[in-house]
């Protein structure tokens, strides 16, 4: 079965640079979530989208922005990167108004290292 695809899998950036992370949800899934997992930490919710509209917002810095496109893929844009942004970034997808709507399927993550 198709899973959530994230790219790139690894990314190295310098401080103050920008980064774009991409997420391709499971086919037919309409909801995308972004989470940030620091070293040894639990995943923290950043932001979510349903049908291309922002549906919820968590602890996402103002330097970050995200959107969901017409094909349901999502991109997380990160600017003015700081050392503390180094983390594993997960995307998850789900299908709203289904029997399984609360089930979020996670991608493999993008490991971002800011030097």
Partner 1 sequence: QKEVEQDPGPLSVPEGAIVSLNCTYSNSAFQYFMWYRQYSRKGPELLMYTYSSGNKEDGRFTAQVDKSSKYISLFIRDSQPSDSATYLCAMSGMGAQKLVFGQGTRLTINP
Residue 106 token pair: 């996670």
Which listed residue (43, 49, 66, 72) binds partner 1 by CB under 8 A? 43
* Residue 18 or 65 with smaller CB distance to partner 1: 65
Alpha-carbon span 17 to 69, nearest angstrom? 24
Q: 61 near 1, Cβ under 8 Å?
A: no
Which listed residue (24, 64, 72, 105) binds partner 1 by CB under 8 A? 105
Which listed residue (18, 58, 63, 65) binds partner 1 by CB under 8 A? 58
Report the candidate in 88, 84, 39, 46 with the shortest Cα–Cα distance to residue 64.
46
Binding site for partner 1 (CB under 8 A): 4, 31, 33, 35, 41-45, 48, 50, 56, 58, 88, 90, 92, 94, 96, 101-109, 111
């Amino acid at each position: 079965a198709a899973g959530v695809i994230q790219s790139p899998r690894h990314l190295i950036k310098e401080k103050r640079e920008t980064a774009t992370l991409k997420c391709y949800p499971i086919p037919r899934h309409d909801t995308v979530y972004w989470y940030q997992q620091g070293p040894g930490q639990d995943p923290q919710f950043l932001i979510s989208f349903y049908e291309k509209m922002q549906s919820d917002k968590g602890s996402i810095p103002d330097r970050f922005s995200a959107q969901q496109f017409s094909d349901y893929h999502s991109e997380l844009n990160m600017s003015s990167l700081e050392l503390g942004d180094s983390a594993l970034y997960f995307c998850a997808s789900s299908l709203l108004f289904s029997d399984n709507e609360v089930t979020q399927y996670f991608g493999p993550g993008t490991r971002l290292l800011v030097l």
